[in-house]
């Protein structure tokens, strides 16, 4: 819950975890089991879920810097990180990115994040 994003993996050390997930979001995958095989890429969103303290202090984590950049319509960073994607594909990404906090979840369902209040399961 407190970790930053992964900057690389053994198969693609140049892409960060957020870019990899956005890349996957843009394609259907009929090899998956239901209900994931029915996911419609054009209607899929990427939502970052973090503690509120990191949402309020975005620059304290790499994903905060990346989120700020990826949500800018005029940014070219995602184009650089996903060069195999067309500009048209990537132009659809910024409005499909969101940021929720554990505190947001707890506000909707008061026992969703029992640890926020120091409670026990």
Whether 67 is covered by a domain: the verdict is yes
Which tokens go with 66? 């990346």
Give the domain range for residue 22: 17-117
Whether 6 is covered by a domain: the verdict is no
Asked whether the predicted pLDDT for residue 10 surpasses 80, the reply is: no
Whether 34 is covered by a domain: the verdict is yes
Q: pTM of the prediction?
A: 0.86
Number of domains in the chain: 1
Q: Taking phi first (over 0 means left), then psi (-120 to 50 degrees means alpha), and beta for anything else, what does residue 109 get? A: beta
Distance CA 75, CA 69 (A): 6
Handedness of CA 83, 89, 92, 93 (dihedral sign): negative
Whether 112 is covered by a domain: the verdict is yes
Distance CA 112, CA 121 (A): 10
Q: How far is CA 12 from the centre of its chain?
A: 18
Whether 5 is covered by a domain: the verdict is no
Q: Of 3-7, 24-28, 51-55, 115-119, which gets the smallest average pLDDT?
A: 115-119
Q: List, for residues 86-118, the tens digit of each pLDDT value.
A: 999 999 999 999 999 999 999 999 888 888 766
Residue 98 three-state SS? strand
Q: List, for residues 68-84, the tens digit of each pLDDT value.
A: 999 999 999 999 999 99
Q: List, for residues 13-40, the tens digit of each pLDDT value.
A: 778 889 999 999 999 999 999 999 999 9
């Amino acid at each position: 819950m407190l970790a930053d994003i992964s900057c690389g993996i053994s198969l693609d050390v140049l892409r960060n975890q957020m870019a990899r997930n956005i890349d996957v979001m843009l394609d259907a995958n009929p090899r998956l089991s239901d209900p994931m095989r029915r996911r419609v890429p054009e209607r899929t969103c990427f939502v970052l879920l973090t503690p509120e303290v990191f949402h309020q202090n975005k620059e304290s984590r790499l994903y905060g810097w990346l989120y700020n950049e990826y949500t800018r319509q005029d940014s070219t960073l995602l184009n650089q990180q996903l060069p195999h994607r067309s500009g048209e594909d990537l132009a659809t990404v910024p409005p499909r990115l969101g940021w929720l906090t554990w505190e947001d979840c707890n506000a909707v369902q008061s026992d969703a994040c029992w640890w926020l209040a120091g409670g026990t399961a």
